[in-house]
């Protein structure tokens, strides 16, 4: 059980408001101020500062938030395990991004469940930003993501390197055959919502070319890859996505990859968890097993295979 003052600190980090933190913790605002003052005296550093009227974390405060947040989530997981009939069973509370959830994780997770029939499993499918927030809040314990993350806050192991490619309907006609990304700016761009890993990767790649999403003739935001693929089949525009999401439709001759000379963007899928977690060795074993190529349903022990 964490010290009450640390719990108060974490609540202030979450709300960035002393009054809201006091209300959620059912204590007075002076008590919140006293708890923060005690921690600042104990560590010898200011934990919060004001930028105008906005409360922000100092560098020391960010360090304490990262470590104490991991401690809180570790303690919460330990409490859940102790309450289980078999404390040796490690529950899987994890998340995956939408593309991975729809097109990648099903077979690896099914293999894992066959090997560990008594393990409770809860898998959340959401975009990268939401998964990172839910890890900080202890809702999930690790995630398999396609987007960018802060390596100072999260440990990781790679799952796979996946090509990220431009795609359109097999019968789509361009006014002139495109050879580089700029040649696509006259097209309708269909893409994922803000906060998705797929969109972040595209934005970074475009920025490196001194381009942005708004440079395309028309932009259509869709909250799921399945719907984007359906839009592409209807020849409603072009999109950029992981080849694994479009591969089956490309193989069927429904979609095609657009070959560009300046767009070669393989990107890593990564397992990530909070840096400093005492459960790191277990997370590494689980993630390594989920990442193993299938040999048999009762294959080698967790952690002994190669990621794929």
Confidence of residue 85 (pLDDT cuts 50, 70, 90): low
Specify whether the CB–CB gap between 151 and 131 falls below 8 A. no
* Same structural domain, 98 and 123: yes
Determine the structural domain holding residue 256 and report its residue range: 161-266
Query: Which region among 78-82, 85-89, 249-253, 289-293 has the lowest average model confidence (pLDDT)?
Result: 85-89
Give CA–CA dist 100/225, Å, rounded.
10
User: Are 110 and 125 contained in the same domain?
Assistant: yes
Please check whether residues 49 and 122 belong to one and the same domain: no
154 backbone dihedrals φ, ψ, rounded to 5°: -130, 135
Higher pLDDT, 238 or 54: 238
**Phi, psi dihedrals of residue 219, rounded to the nearest 5°:** -120, 130
pLDDT at 87: 62
190 and 236 Cβ atoms separated by less than 8 Å:
yes
pTM assigned to the model: 0.69
- Residue 70 placed within a domain: no
Q: Kindly state whether residues 211 and 227 are assigned to the same domain.
A: yes
231, part of any domain: yes
125-162 pLDDT, tens per residue? 998 889 999 998 888 999 999 878 888 889 999 998 88
User: What tokens does 2 get?
Assistant: 């964490």
Same domain, 287 and 197: no
Listed residue (126, 99, 96) closest to 109, CA to CA: 96
Q: Angle 18-25/4-15 helices, nearest 10 degrees?
A: 130
**Rounded distance between C-alpha atoms, residue 171 and residue 283, angstroms:** 45
Residue 264 corresponds to which tokens in the numbers above?
Answer: 């070669």
Lookup: tokens for 296: 């048999």
The CATH number given to whatever domain includes residue 182 is 3.40.190.10
Confidence of residue 95 (pLDDT cuts 50, 70, 90): very high
- pLDDT band, very low/low/confident/very high, at 71 (cuts 50, 70, 90): confident
The pLDDT score that the predictor gives to residue 293 is: 54
Percent residues over pLDDT 70 in the chain: 92
Q: Pick from 65, 94, 109: which residue ends a domain?
A: 65
Residue of 72 and 106 predicted with greater confidence: 106
pLDDT in tens, 8-52: 998 999 899 999 999 999 999 999 999 999 999 999 999 999 988
| Contact call for residues 189 and 237 (beta carbons, < 8 A) | yes
**Region of poorest pLDDT, from 156-170, 211-225, 266-280, 285-299:** 285-299
Whether the per-residue pLDDT at 300 is higher than 80: the answer is no
Average pLDDT, the chain: 87
- Let me know whether 89 and 116 are in one domain: yes
* 299 vs 87, more confident: 87
27, part of any domain: yes
Q: Let me know whether 170 and 28 are in one domain.
A: no
Number of structural domains in the chain? 3
Measure the CA–CA gap between 188 and 239, rounded to whole angstroms: 8
Separation between Cα atoms, residue 265 and residue 24, nearest integer Å: 45
Instruction: Write down the pLDDT at residue 68.
Output: 85
């Amino acid at each position: 059980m964490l010290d009450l003052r640390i719990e108060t600190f974490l609540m202030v980090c979450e709300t960035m408001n002393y009054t809201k933190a006091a209300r959620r913790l059912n204590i007075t605002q002076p008590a919140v101020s006293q708890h923060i003052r005690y921690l600042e005296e104990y560590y010898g550093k200011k934990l919060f500062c004001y930028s105008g009227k906005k409360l922000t974390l100092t560098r020391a405060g960010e360090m304490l938030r990262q470590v104490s947040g991991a401690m809180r989530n570790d303690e919460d997981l330990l409490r859940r395990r102790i309450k289980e009939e078999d404390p040796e069973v490690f529950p899987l509370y994890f998340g995956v991004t939408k593309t991975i959830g729809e097109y990648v994780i099903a077979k690896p997770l099914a293999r894992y469940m066959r090997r560990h029939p008594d393990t409770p499993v809860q898998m959340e499918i959401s975009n990268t930003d939401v998964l990172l927030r839910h890890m900080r809040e202890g809702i999930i314990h690790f995630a398999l993501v396609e987007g960018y993350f802060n390596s100072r806050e999260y440990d990781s192991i790679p799952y796979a390197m996946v090509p990220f490619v431009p795609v359109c309907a097999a019968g789509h006609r361009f006014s002139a055959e495109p050879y580089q990304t700029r040649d696509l700016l006259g097209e309708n761009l269909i893409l994922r919502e803000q906060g998705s890993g797929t969109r972040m990767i595209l934005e970074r790649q475009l920025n490196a070319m001194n381009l942005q999403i708004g440079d395309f003739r028309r932009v259509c935001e869709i909250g799921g890859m399945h719907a984007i693929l359906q839009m592409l089949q209807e020849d409603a525009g072009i999109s950029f996505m992981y080849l694994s999401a479009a591969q089956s439709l490309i193989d069927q001759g429904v979609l095609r990859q657009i070959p560009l000379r300046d767009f070669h963007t393989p990107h890593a899928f990564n397992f990530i968890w909070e840096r400093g977690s005492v459960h790191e060795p277990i997370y590494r074993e689980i993630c390594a097993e989920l990442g193993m190529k299938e040999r048999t349903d009762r294959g080698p022990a967790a952690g002994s295979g190669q990621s794929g």
